[in-house]
Amino acid sequence: GIQVEQSPPDLILQEGANSTLRCNFSDSVNNLQWFHQNPWGQLINLFYIPSGTKQNGRLSATTVATERYSLLYISSSQTTDSGVYFCAVMNYGGSQGNLIFGKGTKLSVKP
Amino acid sequence: KAGVTQTPRYLIKTRGQQVTLSCSPISGHRSVSWYQQTPGQGLQFLFEYFSETQRNKGNFPGRFSGRQFSNSRSEMNVSTLELGDSALYLCASSSGRGAYNEQFFGPGTRLTVL
């Protein structure tokens, strides 16, 4: 089945710094989503981005489907950005229509 | 529009018992999927329901089952609980089946098995 790898696994930043999180996947995908898991466990939707570039405030994401990777950019990080960021993909062939998650990037933003 | 709701939020059970978790999708959404999250295995797919039918199932034992009602609400049941079933159970809803529909998650039910 399709494999999803996220890097780095852990990231520590000073408040105000910028960061880039990467998601590599092993097969073509029809759906790619980025989530932020809050301290209570809920997955918050950040982007639905099977291809192209999107921006939402200080966050932006780019998926290059032909090269099988996606990047999540966080600019001017804040302590509230701390948490785990997940990339999840879906395709009919490899995942039978369910989301396959990476192991996540744990981000800690220090004041 | 209200988001995905899950009840209960926290649950403590003992080995051998059974448990039922509930998920109400976003109004108008017809697809509900369930995922299990543990520190060791990460987020893993359990099953998907659409129009009251199970459409897809992950690699979990038969002790894990579910159903969907005509109003799209879904329940999952775990029988004969084991310590390893302790996890965060998340449900997701989407407007339709398949990869072209964004998935939205509920707050989860945290199950502890003693």
pLDDT in tens, B15-33: 999 999 999 999 999 999 9
Q: What pLDDT sits at residue B99?
A: 58
Binned at pLDDT 50, 70 and 90, residue A95 comes out as very low
Pairs across A and B, CB distance < 8 A = 62
How far apart are the C-alpha atoms of B16 and A52, rounded to whole Å? 49
Q: How far is CA B24 from CA A29, B6, B77, B104, B107, in A?
A: 28, 6, 15, 12, 11
Tell me which residue in B42, B97, B104 faces A103 most closely, judged by beta carbons: B42
Question: CB-based contacts of A87: which residues, under 8 Å, 6+ apart?
Answer: A4, A6, A21, A23, A25, A32, A33, A34, A35, A70, A72, A101, A102
Binned at pLDDT 50, 70 and 90, residue A21 comes out as very high
